[in-house]
């Protein structure tokens, strides 16, 4: 079975992905794939350079994420231009990795996709787990983790669908407001209920 794992920024999705990895489940990580497709020498990076200019490329030929982030963060048109370049490449590579796991005998593959709903990738998966957190805890964790001001944290949270909306699209919701043990207990219950094996 193909499981989509998602959540909002600072919800604890990466922690849940680690728990699944520790249990032997293969993970296709959208963030890792996103880094892979813009490696120096990749056609995707060449296209980004063409569209956004040299200023978004570091001296060593790698993508300057900060510079690019500044360009696209408050500009929907620029963001959509970037997404048009990288999203098809990311999807292709994610499908390739998923198929490879299945061919190697995996029973279940976890597709770890932070923006699963925003990118409308529900059709990629058979069931969806959403890692959820209250808005207060989410903001607090984000400010601590990324050393942001309250305004910056709010802007990042606003750039994604709300946790409540994601919950509505979920087959299972893990509430990550308490201890790690509590989140893990909910995960184990879901795995048992769905009878999932790596």
Show the low-confidence residues of the chain (pLDDT under 70).
Answer: none
Same fold, 1-26+106-198 and 31-105: yes
Question: What is the DSSP code (8-state) at residue 118?
Answer: T
Taking the domains of the chain in order of start, what are their residue ranges? 1-26+106-198, 31-105
> How far apart are alpha carbons 103 and 27 in whole angstroms?
14
* Token pair 């059709």 in the structure block, residue: 123
Secondary-structure class of domain 31-105 per CATH: alpha beta
Q: What is the pLDDT of residue 139?
A: 86
| Structure confidence by residue, pLDDT tens digits, 154-184 | 888 887 888 889 999 999 999 999 999 999 9
Region of residue 41 (phi > 0: left; psi between -120 and 50: alpha; otherwise: beta) = left
CA–centroid distance for 36 within its chain: 14
**In this structure, what is the dihedral angle of CA atoms 119, 124, 128, 132, given to the nearest 10 degrees?**
-20
* pTM (two decimals): 0.86
Q: What is the pLDDT of residue 1?
A: 96
Query: Can you spell out the DSSP letters for 77-141?
Result: HHHHHHHHHHHHHHHHHHHHHHHHHHHTT-S-EEEE-TTTTTTT-GGG-SEEEEEE--HHHHHHH
In degrees and rounded to multiples of 5, residue 132 shows phi and psi of -115, 155
**Sign of torsion over alpha carbons 155, 160, 163, 165:** positive
* Token pair 């982030």 in the structure block, residue: 69
CATH superfamily of 1-26+106-198: P-loop containing nucleotide triphosphate hydrolases (3.40.50.300)
Cross-sheet strand order for the sheet of 2-7: 27-29, 109-112, 2-7, 127-132, 172-175
């Amino acid at each position: 079975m193909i499981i989509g794992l998602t959540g909002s920024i600072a919800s604890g999705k990466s922690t849940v992905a680690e728990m699944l990895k520790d249990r032997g489940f293969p993970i296709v990580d959208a963030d890792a794939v996103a880094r892979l497709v813009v490696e120096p020498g990749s056609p995707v990076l060449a296209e980004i350079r063409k569209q956004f200019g040299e200023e978004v490329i570091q001296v060593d030929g790698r993508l300057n994420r900060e510079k690019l982030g500044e360009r696209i963060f408050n500009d929907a048109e620029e963001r959509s231009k970037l997404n048009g370049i990288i999203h098809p490449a990311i999807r292709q590579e994610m499908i390739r990795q998923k198929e490879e796991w299945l061919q190697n005998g995996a029973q279940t593959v976890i597709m770890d996709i932070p923006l699963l709903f925003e990118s409308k990738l529900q059709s990629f998966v058979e069931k969806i787990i959403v890692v959820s957190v209250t808005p207060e805890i989410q903001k607090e964790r984000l400010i601590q983790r990324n050393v942001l001001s309250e305004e910056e944290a709010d802007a990042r949270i606003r750039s994604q669908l709300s946790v409540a909306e994601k919950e509505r699209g979920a087959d299972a919701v893990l509430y990550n407001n308490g201890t790690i043990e509590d989140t893990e207990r909910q995960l184990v219950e879901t795995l048992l209920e769905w009878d999932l094996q790596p």
